[in-house]
Structure 1
Amino acid sequence: MEPTPYIVVLITASSKQEAETIGKTLVESRLAACVNILTGVSSLFRWQGVIEHQEEVLMLVKSRRELVSSIIEVVKRLHSYTVPEVVALPIVAGSPDYLIWMDESLQQTS
């Protein structure tokens, strides 16, 4: 099955306030149709040679593939981390009504 042009972008933030600022900017600029903010995420990762454990906030950003570079620019501008997580995953299928709503909510690039 060919993936759709739609994606879910995973972004972690240091706080709910930071996630809300980034999420609101993405939705207002029509780079995201929807942003879910999940608190209470416990993250383990290696940073500068040391294993870190942080409480973070996870953002699930619904968008289209061609908007990823613009999403990354916004996140880098607003994020407190030196290297923020921005990972896009394809949406291989979805409710046709939801995908139409996404298109209506996002920037038109063509």
Structure 2
Amino acid sequence: MKMLISLNKKSLITLYFSFLRPCLVLAQANMSSGIVDADKYSVAYVTVPSVDVGKTIGHGLVKNKLAACVNVIPQVTSIYEWEGKINEDSEALLMIKTRTTQVDKLTEFVRTNHPYSVCEVISLPIKNGNPPYLKWIGDTVPEN
């Protein structure tokens, strides 16, 4: 009987270290890196002709609760083809953090307030990140 109890303890310890503990560690790692909220938040990129235009659009996005934060990155050189010609322009880049559910409204706001006839608005889901930062985005930008 003593040997059976000893064997059971040994089996339980083996089970813990080989299966349960790795699962708990993995779950904890996923929560600490924000993977739990994958695709709930997005980052959108918009090029603008100047920092001033970027600030105007950024203020409007934040004021209208379409973005939690807009970074205006100056001095971006864009090389692109437009109307059959290769162009090179100095622009600024907006890096916009928002909820994925708000990307369509954000895009419409940018299109309405942007000076280009065809403006760039592209978004990517945020797959993971700092959980308190992701929570702040969620607290700042309503779902609808």
Paired position in structure 2 for 1:74: 109
Residue 44 (str. 1) matches residue 92 (str. 2): no
- Kindly report structure 1 stretches of 4+ aligned residues shifted beyond 2 Å: 1-4
- Cross-structure match for 2:30: none
Q: Is there any run of 5+ residues in structure 2 with no aligned partner, and where?
A: 1-34
Q: CA separation in 2, counterparts of 1:4 and 1:95?
A: 14
Pairing 1:18–2:53 present = yes
Highest Rg: 1 or 2? 2
- TM-score, structure 2 length as denominator? 0.73
Check if 1:65 corresponds to 2:103.
Answer: no
Residue of structure 1 aligned with 2:136, choices 92, 101, 105: 101
CA RMSD between the two structures: 1.2
Distance verdict in 2 for CA 1:108–1:66, change over 3 Å:
closer
Give me the whole-angstrom Cα distance separating, in 1, the residues matched to 2:77 and 2:143. Answer: 36
**Counterpart of 1:4?**
39
SS in structure 1 of the partner of residue 66 of structure 2: coil
Q: Distance in 2 between matches of 1:67 and 1:103?
A: 11
Bigger relative contact order, structure 1 or 2 (CA pairs below 8 A, ≥6 apart): 1
Secondary structure of the 1:44 match is strand
- The secondary structure found in structure 2 opposite 1:21 is helix
Structure with the larger helix share: 2
Which protein is richer in strand relative to its size?
Answer: 1
Q: Where in structure 1 are there 5+ consecutive unaligned residues?
A: none
